[in-house]
Amino acid sequence: MSATRTAPDYATAHIKLELLSDPIYLSGAREMVSAVSRRLGFDEVTCCQIALAVDEALANIICHGYNRRTDGKIWLYLWPGEGVPESPTIRIVIEDEARQVDIEKIKSRDLKDVRPGGLGVHIIKEVMDEVVYEKRQKTGMRLTMAKSVCACDNNTGGHRDA
């Protein structure tokens, strides 16, 4: 989950969203991703889950990356998968210029140790098929997430047992 990759091919993204690290823009970002997912062919539940993953990722960048500064920048890139609406795919890359943290530290609490907080990263990993955190070249972090639904299976993800 922490492989080092080269930067994505930004130029091929179908959608690029740059927003300030202000929590008031979380809903705009997730509604956009949710609406696009729907048009790509994902069912309602999966659209909500993809939007939730985006919301959790952005909230973490705002809280942990920018320490709740509201003037930081966040970039979201979106690629639809090739293919039929029965097997939609979406790839999302989220980048920031916030502080860099060691990848091992990006993890939620033990689920059994119930206390407020410490669930965002778990939710992201549960809901998406592919989740890779990495440090960007110079500054900030990059999160790459992908989700596919195969026409042949009914598993829309999210409720698997860990």
Partner 1 sequence: MRDGAAIDVSQERVGSAAIVRVSGDVDMTGSPRLRDEIRTAQDARPERIVIDLSEVQYMDSSGLATLVEAMKIAKNKGTLLVLCSMHDKVRGIFEIARLDQYFTIVDSTDEALNA
Ligand X SMILES: Nc1ncnc2c1ncn2[C@@H]1O[C@H](COP(=O)(O)OP(=O)(O)O)[C@@H](O)[C@H]1O
Partner that binds at residue 127, options ligand X, partner 1, a copy of itself, none, CB closer than 5 to 8 Å by kind: partner 1
Closest C-alpha to 79, from 91, 88, 95? 91
Kindly state whether residue 56 participates in binding partner 1, applying the rule CB under 8 A: yes
Determine, following the binding rule CB under 8 A, whether residue 71 of this chain makes contact with partner 1.
Answer: no
3-class state of residue 147 by DSSP: strand
DSSP 8-state symbol, 63: I
**Token reading at 23:** 């929590």
The single-letter DSSP state of residue 6 is P
Please choose, out of 28-36, 40-48, 74-82, 116-124, the segment that lies near ligand X by the rule CB under 6 A.
116-124
Helix, strand, or coil (residue 121): helix
- Asked if residue 54 lies in contact with residue 27, where contact means CB atoms within 8 angstroms, the answer is no
Could you say which residues in the range 40-79 bind ligand X, by CB under 6 A? 60-61, 63-65
What is the pattern of x (binds partner 1, CB under 8 A) and - over residues 103-142? --------xx-xxxx-xx-xx--xx---------------
Residue closer to partner 1, measured from CB, 138 or 160: 160
Structure tokens at 129: 């098929």
Per-residue x/- track, 126-155, ligand X (CB under 6 A):
---------------x--------------
Number of residues this chain uses to bind ligand X (CB under 6 A) = 17
Closest separation in Å from C-beta 135 to a copy of itself: 24
- The phi and psi torsions of 133 (rounded to 5 degrees) equal -95, 145
Contacts of 44 (CB under 8 A, 6+ apart): 38
Q: Report d(CA 40, CA 147) in Å as an integer.
A: 12
Positions touching partner 1 (CB under 8 A) are: 22-24, 26-27, 38-41, 45, 48-49, 52, 55-56, 59, 62-63, 80, 83-85, 88, 111-112, 114-117, 119-120, 122-123, 126-127, 158-159
